[in-house]
Chain A
Amino acid sequence: MTPLEAFDLYHGAVFRFVYRLTASEDLAEDVTQDCFLAFMRVPARFDEARGTVKTYLFSIARNLVFKRWRDNREPETLDGCEAAAPDPSANWEISSAVAAAVGALPALQQEALILFEYEGFTLEEIAEIAGTDAGTVKSRLYRARTRLRRDLAPYRSIGNTNGTIGA
């Protein structure tokens, strides 16, 4: 697969993945650009035996995001410290509330949840992207969903009406 074909197929998914991780369109654009440039510069680094082009591109993108987080020292930790959950008393759109709740997860749980729920990867594929095993991914996913069930519980009835949340 040529870099251009890979771009046509996956740039949208990579961009959305990075945007959901970082909540920044500018950063998502930069990382997506760097991701495909890295793929173009050294295409031989991709090994078909180890996975697909899609998982390879996502692994580059997640490594770039994590590197930027490490350089900027955010978030506080990758898998430990939890940020504050969204405040249901404020006026929020459901989409923003979900984004805030996912963004409040530890980074590795966040990554597993986004790849599983939004990008449709299997546990094995996520393990390949994250450089870990499927059991660890499953555990991260379980913890992420458990926390989201609790944090998003105030939005239960509102979620069905697709409206905004009032105080």
Chain B
Amino acid sequence: MEPLEPDELSDRELDGLLEQWRGPEAPDRLRAAIFPKSARSKWRSFWGTSIRIPLPVACTIGVVLAFGAWRLPRAAPPSVVTRTVRVEVPAPRETVVTRTVYHCQPGRAAVLQRLQPVTELQPRIIRGAANEE
């Protein structure tokens, strides 16, 4: 290594001076500028997302869809296939309900008919019961 001239810094002095130069911090807006989708909601990013498809693939898909749309109305009706399948159906259970009906007897009914409310109240006071005691 060449000897240093008197008017030159040593490596140590130079390193000391170089350390004094501090650069600024990167601004926070850089992240938002580079990753704008991270701030969006998932739905917004879903509707805003696009995919790149090679032109031949897009053309093929278009032709297939167009052919399908043209072919669909003319499609043959589906053939009917009859199959017998045994299916067990649960049978309803019979239930027996017993009901008792009471009929009034003829003699008893006649007695009850005479028990009618009076039309005119005629109270009769019976004396002598207290005197007998």
Contact = CB atoms under 8 A, between A and B. Distances in A.
Contacts of A29: 26-27, 30
Interface of B: 4-5, 7-11, 13-18, 20-27, 30-31, 33-35, 38
Contacts of A32: 26, 30
Chain B interface secondary structure, helix, strand, loop or mixed? loop
Contact of B4 (A20, A40, A149, A160): A149
Given A94-B17, A159-B20, A160-B16, A7 B9 contact: no
Contact of B34 (A33, A117, A148): A33
A57 B13 CA distance: 31
B14 A33 contact: no
B20 A7 contact: no
Contact of B35 (A7, A12, A162): A7
Size category of the binding interface on chain A: 35 or more
Nearest 6 pairs of A and B residues by beta carbon: A15-B26, A16-B23, A98-B21, A149-B9, A149-B8, A94-B20
Contacts, number: 86
30 contacts: A7-B31, A7-B34, A7-B35, A11-B31, A15-B23, A15-B26, A20-B23, A25-B24, A28-B26, A29-B26, A29-B30, A32-B26, A33-B30, A37-B34, A94-B21, A95-B22, A97-B17, A98-B21, A148-B9, A148-B14, A148-B18, A149-B4, A149-B11, A149-B13, A150-B8, A152-B9, A155-B17, A156-B13, A159-B20, A160-B16
Contacts of A160: 16
B9 A99 contact: no
Nearest to A152: B17
A150 to B, nearest CB: 5
A16 B26 contact: yes
B33 to A, nearest CB: 5
